[in-house]
């Protein structure tokens, strides 16, 4: 099990996961204005975000990683290199998402563990990770990775819980 940057090597598995995300009606969490369908376009967008070049005003440099296990796309994570005002309040340095068919198997804990190593590599001393108040599974994942509860903030459609993790 490992993290990799988006690559054509796992294209079929990535498309299978996209279908699962669509069936769940989950939107967002992509470094694009719309949900990706073309992997080449998505990889290019990820590379632009990682370099921090020509980003929309409300965006920050970020590196996208995929969690791969047994040659299968399991989930993805975004490591935001710095925080803007919105991210300081709600989004945090790290977001992660596990495909629905692979949840409750420990992958959330592993993807966060692995991306925290990457956060340290880019020089972060601590990382802010947030989750929806109702997302008990994510709360447990964050706490297993050393997350210390900081605060709850009002958000739409529901409040966010904020945790700091020392690296």
CATH of the domain at 108: 3.40.630.30
Average pLDDT, the chain: 93
pLDDT on residue 58: 85
Average pLDDT estimate for 83-105 = 94
Please check whether residue 148 lies inside any domain of the structure.
no
Average pLDDT estimate for 125-139 = 96
Per-residue pLDDT at 84 exceeds 70: yes
Coil/strand/helix, residue 150: strand
Please check whether residue 39 lies inside any domain of the structure.
yes
**Residue 83's closest CA among 53, 113, 61, 57?**
61
pLDDT digits (tens, 9 = 90+) for 13-62: 999 999 998 888 776 556 666 678 889 999 999 999 999 988 888 899 99
CA dihedral in degrees (13, 32, 24, 130; nearest 10)? Answer: 110
Is residue 85 within 8 Å of 67, Cβ to Cβ? no
Q: What is the pTM of this model?
A: 0.94
Please check whether residue 149 lies inside any domain of the structure.
no
Total structural domains within the chain? 1
Domain interval for residue 73: 2-125
Please check whether residue 161 lies inside any domain of the structure.
no
Is residue 46 within 8 Å of 31, Cβ to Cβ? yes
Average pLDDT estimate for 80-101 = 94
Please check whether residue 130 lies inside any domain of the structure.
no
Paired tokens of 4: 């990799």
């Amino acid at each position: 099990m490992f993290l990799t940057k988006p690559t054509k090597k796992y294209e079929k598995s990535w498309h299978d996961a996209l279908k699962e995300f669509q069936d769940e009606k989950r939107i967002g969490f992509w470094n694009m204005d719309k949900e990706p369908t073309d992997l080449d376009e998505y990889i290019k967008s990820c590379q632009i975000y990682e370099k921090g070049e020509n980003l929309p005003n409300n965006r920050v440099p970020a590196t996208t990683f995929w969690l791969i296990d047994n040659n299968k796309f399991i989930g993805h994570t975004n490591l935001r290199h710095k925080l803007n005002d919105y991210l300081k309040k709600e989004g945090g340095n790290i977001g992660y998402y596990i495909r629905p068919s692979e949840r409750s198997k420990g992958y959330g804990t592993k993807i966060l563990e692995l991306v925290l190593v990457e956060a340290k590599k880019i020089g972060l001393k601590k990382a802010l990770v947030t989750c929806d108040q109702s997302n008990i599974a994510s709360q447990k994942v964050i706490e297993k990775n050393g997350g210390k509860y900081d605060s709850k903030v009002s958000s739409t459609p529901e409040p966010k819980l904020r945790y700091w993790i020392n690296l």
